[in-house]
Amino acid sequence: MTNLRVFLHLANGFQYDFTELWEELCFSTVVPGGFANCSFKLRGELSFLLDIYSNAPEGKLQVYGVDSRVAWEGLVLGVSIPREGKIEVVAMGYWGTLSRQYYYHSAATTNIKAIIQDILATKCPSISSDYSNIADPLQTASQYFYQDEKPSNIIPDLVDQCSATGIWLAAIWEDQKFYLTTQPTTIAWQCSISDMEGDSCPERDLDSIANKIACRYELRGSPSSNVLTAWSEDSSSQSKWGIREAVIPLGEADADAAIRVRDMALNTLKNPRLTGSFSLNRVLNAQGIEEPLYRVRAGQLIKIIDILPGAPLIDEPDGFRIALIQETEYAPESDSLRISLHNLSLSAVFEQTKRLAEKITADRQRAAQLRMFTPYFTTK
């Protein structure tokens, strides 16, 4: 069992130390998102439990490792009614606060970084005003009119629109700081097959390779027309894996939306990736030194050292042993870490591109209506 320290900080400055009182602690991370969910049970005298029941919601919860690093951080959502000398505490990461207010936007910029910063500054008071960790994807949004939409819906769509140039990750970590970065290129963690529990093991998904992609869509008109975009392809992938074509059916869309999601899909599917989920009882850092499991987070790269037997072939890049972590779940009492890898299957990418194309098209149609009927529509 790992000795983690758990603290609750209230708005009035009062602090509770739950380190000796918690049971069944479990917390997770995810991208997009950052710190995700956390839950645990507390035992104590009824008066103490009633005090927590009354005052804990919206309090800041922090879980620290033995080295005083933050392992998890967020806000208390709710506390159960005391029963048999125990209560259950449920908390969420700061990403959950993005769904609390609506955002209205019609500024003259379509720069994705600028829009995200404006959303955070005007509608997300729980998020830090330190935007130094928001990289500029140098991408423009498909449209810049938003009405009756929440940041929790807008921001993931904006991040998805950056994906034609690579995988972009959005998360909120310690001190409520928002991060927007490309997928890391350096390995954070290593493990072996022997470190995995049970029969679960990641697999290399060769069936999901697509290196020549087009999108078919319905162009609104009278009559409507069925259109196939030009093909987009990757010659480097084709030289190794042969030509592997895919046509993505989008339904109703416009030409720009179809091209955007086509290029996003090609960048995602042109090379094979490790997929799946597994549980670990041990993990090493990039230098080969064992570290506590709770330090592993979503959005980092992990290398499965011996997933391919023997030395790597000259023409086989090390990427076949490396995967992006999409979600983690850690249970201190069993000291076990569950890892889910980034889902890049054909079906998952097809669904993502279809949803994004529909969203871009609908937003553009709505923007046109707003320009027509509300010429003085302003921000916020």
Q: What is the pLDDT of residues 334-376, one digit of tens each?
A: 999 999 998 777 777 888 788 788 777 776 666 666 555 444 4
Co-location of 26 and 135 in the same domain: no
Residue 156 maps to a domain: yes
Residue 24 maps to a domain: yes
Highest mean pLDDT among 97-111, 172-186, 302-316: 172-186
Give me the pLDDT at residue 377, please.
Answer: 41
In whole angstroms, how far apart are CA 2 and each of 190, 191, 196? 20, 19, 18
pLDDT tens by residue, 84-105: 899 999 999 999 999 999 998 7
Give me the pLDDT at residue 317, please.
Answer: 52
In whole angstroms, how far apart are CA 217 and each of 126, 158, 225, 257, 259? 40, 21, 8, 10, 10
Give me the pLDDT at residue 309, please.
Answer: 63
Q: Which of 92, 113, 147 is at the close of a domain?
A: 92
Co-location of 294 and 197 in the same domain: yes
Is 119 a residue whose pLDDT tops 50? yes
Residue 361 maps to a domain: no
Tell me how many domains the chain contains.
Answer: 3
> Mean of the pLDDT values across residues 294-314?
81
Residue 206, phi then psi, degrees to nearest 5 = -80, -25
**Distance from first CA to last CA of the chain, Å, rounded?**
49
Give me the pLDDT at residue 106, please.
Answer: 67
Co-location of 24 and 126 in the same domain: no
pLDDT tier for residue 20 given thresholds of 50, 70 and 90? very high
Nearest Cα neighbor of 320 from 209, 211, 210, 235 is 209
Q: How far, in Å, CA of 82 to CA of 1, rounded?
A: 26
Co-location of 67 and 107 in the same domain: no
| Residue owning tokens 């190794």 | 240
Give me the pLDDT at residue 314, please.
Answer: 47
Co-location of 176 and 199 in the same domain: no
Co-location of 67 and 178 in the same domain: no
Co-location of 118 and 178 in the same domain: yes
Co-location of 196 and 337 in the same domain: yes
The 10 Å CB-count burial string (b at 16+, else e) for 98-123 is beeeebebbeeeebbbbbbbbbbeeb
Co-location of 171 and 196 in the same domain: no
Domain that holds residue 157: 101-182
Give me the pLDDT at residue 38, please.
Answer: 97
pLDDT tier for residue 271 given thresholds of 50, 70 and 90? confident
Q: Are the CB atoms for 213 and 232 separated by under 8 Å? A: yes
Is 378 a residue whose pLDDT tops 60? no
How many beta carbons lie within 10 A of that of residue 256, not counting itself? Answer: 14
Is 9 a residue whose pLDDT tops 80? yes
| Residue owning tokens 């956390």 | 38
Give me the pLDDT at residue 379, please.
Answer: 42
Co-location of 109 and 163 in the same domain: yes
Residue 237 maps to a domain: no
Co-location of 26 and 162 in the same domain: no
Co-location of 118 and 78 in the same domain: no
